[in-house]
Structure 1
Amino acid sequence: MKGVVLGGVSSGVGKTVATLAAVRALEAAGKTVQPAKAGPDFIDPSHHERVAGRPSRTLDLWLQGEDGLRRNYARGEGDVCVIEGVMGLYDGDGSSTAAVAEALDLPVVLVVDASAGMESVAATALGFRAYAERAGRDVDVAGVIAQRAHGGRHADGIREALPEELTYVGRVPPDDDLTVPERHLGLHMGDESPVPADALDAAAEQIRTERLLDIAREPTGAAESDRAAGLASSADADRPRVAVARDDAFRFAYPATIERLRERATVEPFAPTAGDSLPPCDGVYLPGGYPELHAGALAEGPALADVADAAAEGVPVFGECGGLMALAESLTTVEGETHAMAGVLPADVRMRDRYQALDHVELRARRDAPTAAAGETLRGHEFHYSDTEVASDARFAFDVERGTGIDGDRDGLTEHRTLGTYCHVHPESGAFDAFCDRL
């Protein structure tokens, strides 16, 4: 599968809208598009999925390693993969957009804000291309998408200013409808506030799909997809059952995580905020999300009480970030309303006005835990607006080698066979294999 990376000159330049426009344009040209996102993210990929009609792949060197990144790329399906970058092209010490492009040997189309520039767009793109050469980076900046560029003389001036080695791939016109509302943790999800179809169609018409396809190429050293083996194992009726919370409160699960669970177990989705009870299961996975926005429904519904009963009976339960919050004694919203949660873990969680942690994370297991054996390390990421007050006798599963965790030094509250962390792990870490092995 050919691929191309859409990198930005900075955060906030409009990479997501440019990516959506490119996906829509390629599909209008009859191509099947596999979207992807560089760096840890659950929100931008939800917009990708809404437009492309298929889950977006996460590509992150810190979370997956180079081999894991290539395997995850290979598991995608389509004629061409469009990868949205993270932050500015060269930003990010754990896994920058440039590093992802280098690992796959894929070309970069630079998204440049052209709202107040013309020839300066070309100068900016040339600077990003020259920086790679000067820094000894194997990054092929091959084209430009002019974000917020008008047509006519504006677009013509940008195109004419670009040298031969930089292809003009098109523009995204200035349009107030081509924005996504923001809240804590980032943008609204794709099914909450999608980009209006007519505005996206208009933007897609300005993308030069033939130029984009000319730039795209096959990655080098990509792994063979192991998708077929995983799907073949799904016929085994004797496998354990894992209940996975999937609703407005628990939205942040990597597609690769659900795929891995389906390879090892039968996945039983349930929706706690919709009043679902916990289905019969051998294990429970509570992903991250927005439990603070649905704390009342969670407190009133049967699911958290069911999870508490299952945990007390020794059923393995794994909660990540929002899942940790739901497993705590209580959750206090930013407005000061306190709601009872599952009460499995000895902690009280309170939402804050600004984020409390944002980083790649490395954890080392202090003892055997549901997702790792003693001494093993896990890599993931954290991004949350809550903090947690734990009981004096609380037990922690992990020491934090990098990141913040629950108290700056430790993460992973444990009780019974239940584990709650602020860290989101990717399945390439081995955490979900370990979890399934313990069912």
Structure 2
Amino acid sequence: MTPALLISAPRSGAGKTTVTLGILAALARRGIKVRSAKAGPDYIDPAFHAAATGRSSLNLDSWSMPPSLLDALASDAAADADMLVIEGAMGLFDGVAREPGRSGAAADLAARWHLPVLLVLDVSGQSQSAAAVLRGFAGHDPAVHIAGAILNRVGSERHRAPIATAIGALGIPVLGGIPRDATLTLPERHLGLVQAGEHGDLAARLTALADMAEQHLDLDAVIALAAPLARSTGKTAFAIPPPGQRIALASDAAFSFIYPHLLDGWHRAGAEIVRFSPLADETPDSSCDVCWLPGGYPELHAGALATAQTFRDGLMRFAETRPVHGECGGFMVLGERLEDADGVNHPMTGLLGHATSFHKRRLHLGYREARLLADSPIGPAGARVRGHEFHYATLIPGADAPFAELTDAYGQPVAEQGGRRGHVTGTFFHAIARSDA
């Protein structure tokens, strides 16, 4: 059984990702075969995890994924590793207050697999009060074991010492204190961190984070904290069956948001993934039987996409006879036009009739469950699929038929329904797993 632990925090912005990457990079540098996962729906952090460890990362989401799929994915991740490290999202207990164990909170995973939790505390602006915060988290849910703490953004030894003394009275070990250092912070944009592949100095950044972890954390104690994760004995579960035998996948700086567990599941089922780059004006391979346009940042590349005539013509020919599906950014590119943040309109493929705008941004964020209204690459008509929506685009609807009936995590209807026309389907909704399989 592979030892595993969960790294979380009381809130977003406390430094979970910085601490996690430092630990991952330091463990990998020691020659430990460490695998990682991200709790919740997040495309960006797993790519940083993979860069730090040299091994693929994945997502584990208790709301979107059926329990059998969660168990299978965690088991597979731990199968060929010396240690599994899971990074939480938002605060440890933050999730959907509806169904116990399926809230989407990182605490669900800790309770399900009896994982020790290493809590990252941002202690800037406080001292002994950090112990009160930790006491509250330690006693909040008896099924969740807070096994250690890391103090982040420590001002000095005079700052650290009384905090560590106050926490020591709780019987929870402090496994390190990280000083305030702006150079350790990774740059962000509107959907989170700037993606791993866009950092020309990523190797140097990860080296600095590994050095930080070696210098300021008790890594031997972190390793000893991990507890065995039992292997799943059930059969392999697929989140979403492959939409075809050969799948043309748009893949470049504008189209990069697709979950690793989906691609891995399709590979395991025998499907082939054939990548192409719309930004390089490439077309989907004509030997493929389905085309998938994932999310990403088309709004940052709208001008280049508008002039990629070979891509547009090739996609139109493909869509005459075979399914084409777009998620979020891919959905934007399937529309008539995309208005950028400066109010400039760029023509898109026009395979669907809507338009999208970033000129007047509005955040759309949350879990979604879709009941599909027609057959599509993510499932047959009537199927239910869980996932999420996260974007700042405003939708100008077209005259297309709706693709799905969408509700939020509390079962309330959501206005956005996507669109379908001929073989083409699209939606802002990112699919994570079938909920009716």
Query: What amino acid maps onto 1:67 in structure 2?
Result: S
1:210 to 208, 213, 220: 220
SS in structure 1 opposite 2:183?
Answer: coil
CA contact 2:361–2:394 (8 Å) conserved in 1? no
CA contact 1:355–1:383 (8 Å) conserved in 2? no
* CA distance in structure 2 between the partners assigned to 1:179 and 1:208 by the alignment: 21
1:338 to 335, 345, 351: 345
Query: What amino acid maps onto 1:33 in structure 2?
Result: V
Post-superposition shift, 1:10?
A: 0.8
Moved more, 353-362 or 107-116: 353-362
Aligned to 2:367: 360
Q: Does 1:308 align with 2:342?
A: no
Aligned length: 416
Query: What amino acid maps onto 2:389 in structure 1?
Result: E
* CA distance in structure 2 between the partners assigned to 1:23 and 1:8 by the alignment: 17
- Mapping for residues 25-424 of structure 1, pairs under 5 Å: 25-76=26-77, 77-93=80-96, 94-133=103-142, 138-150=143-155, 152-161=157-166, 162-163=168-169, 165-193=171-199, 194=202, 196-205=205-214, 206-220=216-230, 222-223=232-233, 226=236, 240-262=245-267, 263-280=269-286, 281-301=288-308, 302-312=310-320, 314-391=321-398, 393-402=399-408, 408-424=414-430
CA contact 1:304–1:326 (8 Å) conserved in 2? no
* CA distance in structure 2 between the partners assigned to 1:367 and 1:198 by the alignment: 49
CA contact 1:85–1:97 (8 Å) conserved in 2? yes
* CA distance in structure 2 between the partners assigned to 1:113 and 1:303 by the alignment: 47
369 and 267 in structure 1: CA distance in 2 versus 1, 3 angstrom threshold: closer
25 and 163 in structure 1: CA distance in 2 versus 1, 3 angstrom threshold: farther
SS in structure 2 opposite 1:20?
Answer: helix
Moved more, 362-371 or 151-160: 151-160
Please give the TM-score of this superposition, normalised by the length of structure 1. 0.88
SS in structure 2 opposite 1:257?
Answer: helix
Post-superposition shift, 1:221?
A: 6.7
CA contact 1:260–1:427 (8 Å) conserved in 2? no
Aligned to 1:435: none
Deviations 1:73-126 (A, max 9, x none): 122142111111111111111301111211222111110012234433333212
Moved more, 326-335 or 211-220: 211-220
SS in structure 1 opposite 2:24?
Answer: helix
Post-superposition shift, 1:279?
A: 1.8
250 and 65 in structure 1: CA distance in 2 versus 1, 3 angstrom threshold: same
409 and 305 in structure 1: CA distance in 2 versus 1, 3 angstrom threshold: same
CA contact 2:7–2:119 (8 Å) conserved in 1? yes
Post-superposition shift, 1:39?
A: 0.6
Query: What amino acid maps onto 1:207 in structure 2?
Result: L
Deviations 1:21-46 (A, max 9, x none): 11122223331111111110011222
SS in structure 2 opposite 1:62?
Answer: coil
SS in structure 2 opposite 1:210?
Answer: helix
19 and 352 in structure 1: CA distance in 2 versus 1, 3 angstrom threshold: farther
* CA distance in structure 2 between the partners assigned to 1:16 and 1:320 by the alignment: 26
Post-superposition shift, 1:152?
A: 3.8
The answer for unaligned runs of 5 or more in structure 2 is 97-102
* CA distance in structure 1 between the partners assigned to 2:436 and 2:293 by the alignment: 17
CA contact 1:396–1:413 (8 Å) conserved in 2? yes
* CA distance in structure 2 between the partners assigned to 1:326 and 1:276 by the alignment: 15
CA contact 1:352–1:385 (8 Å) conserved in 2? no
Post-superposition shift, 1:156?
A: 4.2
CA contact 2:406–2:414 (8 Å) conserved in 1? yes
164 and 127 in structure 1: CA distance in 2 versus 1, 3 angstrom threshold: closer
Q: State the identity as a percent.
A: 35
Query: What amino acid maps onto 2:382 in structure 1?
Result: G
The answer for unaligned runs of 5 or more in structure 1 is 432-439
SS in structure 2 opposite 1:64?
Answer: coil
Please give the TM-score of this superposition, normalised by the length of structure 2. 0.88
Post-superposition shift, 1:331?
A: 0.9
Query: What amino acid maps onto 1:377 in structure 2?
Result: R
Query: What amino acid maps onto 2:133 in structure 1?
Result: T
